[in-house]
Structure 1
Amino acid sequence: MKTPFLSSICLACALGASAVAMQAQTPANSTDSTAPSYDMKAQALLDLEAVNKKCVDLAQALPADKITWRPSPDTRSFAEVFLHVAGERYGFLGMLGATPPAGFKAGEYDKSTTDRDRIVEALNQSWDFTSKTINGMSNADFAKLLPKLGPQANEGDVVYLLVADAHEHLGQLVAYARQNGIVPPWTVERQKKKAAAAGK
């Protein structure tokens, strides 16, 4: 898929479907009056930080000649997927009013560089932006409605979809790596620990 970022129309559709599904699971006459027990803000930050670390580790583990590899002409390369992950953070959170860095151009960002160091820098900078933006949200902000994205869409939906999309692209990158005989660094580390434990 070459679409640079999820369009606001597609995002609105996704948010609308999400809201409808949630309504179906939570009837208006529900008798559940317990306080929420799940901290979406904290969990979203944990998930997004973990995904960023894995993206950075994988980018650094790639042989230099694989950065521009793609499985077919009509798909993104490694470099383009990494930059897509970084750029989507600006795109999604921009819908909440966060201001992307000066010079950020969504339609061009995926192809802005094939230099490994710059890709890693882009990932880390966009993670800093994401962390500051989400940390700056109050719990009440997560329930704040975003009428421009749909009658029942809220800011929490945007963060939720950002997390889901980040994991989707991490899976894509792992598939790319495996196609090239590259074992993800976190898997290598887990295998080493398992072997060490077995040898004791």
Structure 2
Amino acid sequence: MKRIPFLAIVLLAFAFPAHAQDAMKKDAAIKPADPESKVVLDSWNEIGRKLTAMAEDFPEDKYDFKPTPEQRSFAEQLLHAAGSCYYFTNPVMGQKPPAAEDPKRDQYKSKADIVAFVKKSFADGATAIQAKGEKGLTTEVVYFPQQKARVIDIAYGIIEHSGEHYGQLVVYYRLAGLVPPESRPKK
């Protein structure tokens, strides 16, 4: 008989902290979702940061490395990814898209030239996102001749495209016997 009250006390002792924690969780305010413009800008800046880190880190004497002769070099991959940003930035800012798909390697002769271009292209895109603001993300702009698209859709398309090239550049790192900055242990 004495065991039942003891067992009840033990069960209550274990149940109360869980109940108290649940009550505290219910009282805590749930943080609202970030505004869309912040989410887009954060994603844009994050892929820009990763590509810039690679551009700054990869040895200049390996900038013309190609896994196969048919592929773009490391430098050409960076120029392509950075240049594609202007397919977003230009239409969003009321300008014509770039005339050529890829900036030419002979226009960007040094590593410093390419790093500066990568930084500028992502900074220009971030400025365009900020200029449009929350309401401007759903406005439509002429993206290609005879084609309109929403600002947010173009931004996410370029972010995704840049992420694909980031992944390709990771392979270039590995084939060159190097470890990409994002894969290194954090200090």
Q: Are 1:50 and 2:43 counterparts?
A: no
Q: Using structure 1 for the length normalisation, give the TM-score.
A: 0.66
Q: Which runs of 4+ in 1 moved over 6 A?
A: none
* Equivalent of residue 149 in structure 1, options 132, 141, 147: 147
Matched ranges for 1:35-114 at <5 A: 37=33, 39-99=35-95, 106-107=100-101, 109-111=103-105, 112-114=107-109
- CA deviations over 1:27-55 (Å, ceiling 9, x no partner): xxxxxxxxx95633212221222222222
| Deviation for aligned residue 1:93 | 2.1
| Percent identity between the two aligned chains | 27
Q: 1:171 aligns with which of 148, 167, 170?
A: 167
Q: 1:136 Cα deviation (Å)? A: 0.4
Count of aligned residue pairs for this structure pair: 152
Instruction: Give the corresponding residue for 2:183.
Output: 187
Residues 40 and 152 of structure 2 are in contact (CA less than 8 Å); yes or no, is this contact kept in structure 1?
no
Please list the CA deviations of residues 166-186 of structure 1 after superposition, one character each: whole Å capped at 9, or x if unmatched.
Answer: 111111111111111110123
Letter in 2 for 1:62: F
Cα deviation, 1:114-140, whole Å, max 9, x if unaligned, reads 411011111111122111111001222
Contact between 1:48 and 1:166, CA under 8 Å: does it hold in 2?
no
Q: State whether residues 57 and 185 of structure 1, in contact with CA within 8 Å, keep that contact through their aligned partners in structure 2.
A: yes
Structure 1 residues 185 and 108, CA gap change in structure 2 (3 angstroms): closer
Residue 123 of structure 2 corresponds to 128
Greater mean alpha carbon deviation, residues 52-61 or residues 63-72: 52-61
Give TM-score scaled by structure 2 length.
Answer: 0.71
154-163 or 44-53: which moved more? 44-53
Quick check: which has more Rg, 1 or 2? Answer: 2
Question: How far apart in 2 are the matches of 1:107 and 1:158?
Answer: 16
Higher strand share: 2
Of structures 1 and 2, the one with the larger relative CO (CA 8 A, separation 6+) is: 1
* Structure-2 change in CA distance of 1:66 and 1:138 (3 Å): same
- Asked if the contact 1:44–1:159 (Cα under 8 Å) also holds between the matched residues in 2, the reply is yes
Shift of residue 105, structure 1, vs aligned partner:
5.3
For residues 98 and 72 of structure 1, do their structure 2 counterparts lie closer, same or farther at Cα, with a shift above 3 Å needed? Answer: farther
Structure 1 counterpart of 2:119, one-letter code: N
Q: Is the 8 A contact 1:98 1:133 kept in 2?
A: no
Q: Is the 8 A contact 1:56 1:120 kept in 2?
A: yes
Aligned partner of 1:137 among 115, 126, 132: 132
Q: Which residue in the other structure is 1:161 paired with? A: 157
Gaps of 5+ in 1: 1-35, 194-200
CA RMSD, aligned part only? Answer: 2.5
